[in-house]
Amino acid sequence: MEEPLALHPVKLYVYDLSKGMARRLSPLMLGKSTAGTGPARPGPPAASGGHTSIIVHKDEFFYGSGGISSCAPGGTLLGPPDSVVDLGNTEVTEEIFLEYLSSLGESMFRGESYNLFEHNCNTFSNEVAQFLTGRKIPSYITDLPAEVLATPFGQALRPLLDSIQIQPPGGNTFSRHNGQS
């Protein structure tokens, strides 16, 4: 008789890097609130200087200009997340997941591929969430860069913002050898 597969919880950590400043200034600078006009959104919107990561197998995994990194949950210098989104459960084992991350780190999510608006931590979190659970992360997070760039202020700031490299301090760069270096 086959043993049932173990289920592992998958969470999305959402950090507000601006500590609320972007949300307060967005109506003035962007002509609209980054909180949106629809129903209330759980947690701070990612565009308020947001960073996301995936928590699975008792570790936090994230992407920045240094590539894919990992740490204990809440173990970067960002501290605890501003909100946590439950993405469900996965049957993907830790071994298979680490192999998957290794392949992503050598292809789609190399450090030099990072772009603040088009290929960022939210892109990584969305890709990994779909692999683990078949579900995307909330659209209010993934849609925000396009919303910002659609404004005159976003277009004016784009050259400066494109030069920004973000790598939350405190994580360990992911490696093929043992998951962490």
Where do the domains of the chain lie?
Answer: 8-33+40-168
pLDDT of 131 reads 99
Angle between helices 152-162 and 21-30 (to 10 degrees): 120
The catalytic residue positions are 51, 121
CB 23 within 8 Å of CB 34: yes
Sign of the four-CA dihedral 81, 51, 178, 56: positive
Q: How far apart are CA 158 and CA 153, in angstroms?
A: 8
Q: How far apart are CA 173 and CA 8, in angstroms?
A: 23
Rounded to whole angstroms, the Cα distance separating 98 from 116 reads: 25
- pLDDT computed for residue 175 by the predictor: 52
pLDDT at 50: 80
User: Can you give the pLDDT at residue 52?
Assistant: 95
Looking at residue 153, what is its pLDDT? 78
Given this model, what pLDDT does residue 22 score?
60
CA gap 172, 91 in Å, rounded:
25
* pTM score, whole prediction: 0.78
Quickly name the fold that domain 8-33+40-168 has: endopeptidase fold (from Nostoc punctiforme) (3.90.1720)
Per-residue confidence in pLDDT tens, the chain, 181 aa: 556 689 999 999 999 876 666 666 656 555 655 543 333 344 444 444 588 999 999 999 999 989 999 999 999 888 999 999 999 999 999 999 999 999 999 999 999 899 888 899 999 999 999 999 999 999 989 988 888 788 887 788 778 777 766 666 555 566 543 444 3
- What is the structure's pLDDT at 160? 78
